[in-house]
C-alpha cells in the first residue's frame, strides 16, 4: 500500500468535511474546519489510534470494510472511492458484489430528515449509516462489527431488539427477511461475504434454514412497527423502505403521525437520546 499517499488523502479529505453536515454537534474550539481524528474514527467505526496510524503511514493493508467505512465517513465521490481503494492496494468492489457505496446525495438527504429516524442499509440489510435519532431509537450500532451489523443475522441469531412483534408478526417477518435475502443472493451470486452470511444463518438457525430451503423469494416493504424504548416507552411508527435507483441501497425512515403521543415521544427522544449519544 502507498501508505504515505493513503494517509495524506485521508487527512486531506478529513479537513474538508463539515462536522455539522456529518451529524456531529456544533460548538467548541476548532483549529480547522474539518473533522477531528476522533470524529472520523467515530463516524467510520474504527479506533482513533488506527486513524492516526493510517494518516501517519504506520499502518498498512486496511481491509475493504475499513476503506468503505472511511469512504462513507469522508463522503467521497465515486471516483475518490476508487482512488482510495487503489491506494490501499485493493480492487474497488465490482458489480458482482453487494454495493456498499453511499452517494453524497443520500447522505445529504439523511442530514435534512432531522425529524425522522433514518438508516441506510445495503441490499443484504447490513447497516451502513444511521442518523442520531435512529441510533437513539434502536440503539447505538457504532460498536457492532461484521455480521452483527446485518439485520437478518440480528433477527435470527442476535439478541432481542426493541421492535415488538406478536408471534404471528414475528413468523411473517422472518419469512419476508429470508425471502428478501434470497432475492439479493440471486442478484449477487459471486459475493463471498453474502455467501458466508447465508451459510452461517443456515448452520446456526434452524428457522432460517427451514425458510431458505422453501425457496421463497420476495422483498421487504414498509410497515407499522412498535418500538419498546427503555427511556420514553412504546412508540408505534411508520417504517417506510425507500430504494435508491442504481445503487441497490435501502433507506429506512421511521416517522410518527403528527399530533399523536407517538410523535411527542419521538420528539422527546430526539432531545434525550441524541444528547446521550453526543454528550461528553
* Torsion sign over Cα 142, 144, 150, 152: negative
pLDDT of residue 144: 84
Average per-residue pLDDT for the chain: 89
CATH 3.30.450.180 placement within the chain: 104-278
Q: How far apart are CA 205 and CA 169, in angstroms?
A: 18
pLDDT of residue 112: 87
pLDDT of residue 280: 32
Contacts (Cβ under 8 Å, ≥6 apart) of 219: 176, 179, 180, 183
pLDDT of residue 277: 44
CATH 1.10.260.40 placement within the chain: 3-87
CB of 173 within 8 A of CB of 156?
no
pLDDT band per the 50, 70, 90 thresholds, residue 188: very high
Domain 104-278 in CATH 3.30.450.180: yes
Element (H, E) at 243: strand 233-244
- Summarised one tens digit per residue, pLDDT across range 259-270 is 999 999 999 998
Indicate whether 25 pLDDT > 70: no
Q: How far apart are CA 249 and CA 263, in angstroms?
A: 27
The correct CATH number of 3-87 out of 3.30.70.3040, 2.102.10.10, 1.10.260.40, 3.40.50.2300 is 1.10.260.40
Indicate whether 278 pLDDT > 60: no
First-residue to last-residue Cα distance in the chain: 36
- Summarised one tens digit per residue, pLDDT across range 74-132 is 999 889 999 999 999 998 888 889 999 998 889 888 888 888 999 999 999 999 999 98
Q: What cell numbers appear for 3 in the block?
A: 501508505
Element (H, E) at 223: strand 223-229
Amino acid at each position: 500500500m502507498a501508505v504515505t499517499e493513503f494517509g495524506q488523502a485521508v487527512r486531506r479529505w478529513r479537513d474538508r468535511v463539515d462536522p455539522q453536515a456529518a451529524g456531529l454537534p456544533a460548538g467548541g474550539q476548532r483549529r480547522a474546519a474539518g473533522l477531528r481524528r476522533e470524529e472520523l474514527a467515530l463516524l467510520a467505526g474504527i479506533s482513533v489510534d488506527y486513524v492516526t496510524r493510517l494518516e501517519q503511514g504506520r499502518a498498512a493493508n486496511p481491509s475493504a470494510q475499513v476503506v468503505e467505512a472511511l469512504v462513507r465517513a469522508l463522503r467521497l465521490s465515486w471516483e475518490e472511492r476508487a482512488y482510495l481503494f487503489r491506494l490501499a492496494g485493493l480492487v474497488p468492489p465490482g458489480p458482482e458484489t453487494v454495493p456498499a457505496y453511499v452517494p453524497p446525495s443520500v447522505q445529504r438527504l439523511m442530514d435534512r430528515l432531522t425529524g425522522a429516524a433514518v438508516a441506510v442499509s445495503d441490499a443484504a440489510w447490513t447497516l451502513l449509516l444511521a442518523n442520531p435519532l435512529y441510533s437513539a431509537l434502536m440503539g447505538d450500532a457504532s460498536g457492532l462489527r461484521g455480521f452483527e451489523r446485518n439485520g437478518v443475522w440480528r433477527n435470527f441469531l442476535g439478541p432481542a431488539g426493541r421492535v415488538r412483534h406478536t408471534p404471528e408478526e414475528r413468523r411473517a417477518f422472518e419469512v419476508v427477511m429470508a425471502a428478501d435475502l434470497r432475492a439479493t443472493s440471486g442478484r449477487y451470486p459471486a459475493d463471498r461475504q453474502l455467501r458466508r452470511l447465508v451459510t452461517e444463518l443456515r448452520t446456526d438457525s434452524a428457522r432460517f434454514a427451514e425458510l431458505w430451503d422453501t425457496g421463497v423469494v420476495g422483498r421487504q416493504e414498509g410497515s407499522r412497527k412498535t418500538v419498546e424504548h427503555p427511556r420514553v416507552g412504546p412508540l408505534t411508527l411508520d417504517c417506510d423502505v425507500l430504494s435508491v435507483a442504481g445503487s441497490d441501497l435501502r433507506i429506512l425512515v421511521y416517522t410518527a403521525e403528527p399530533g399523536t403521543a407517538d410523535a411527542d415521544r419521538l420528539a422527546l427522544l430526539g432531545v434525550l437520546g441524541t444528547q446521550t449519544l453526543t454528550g461528553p
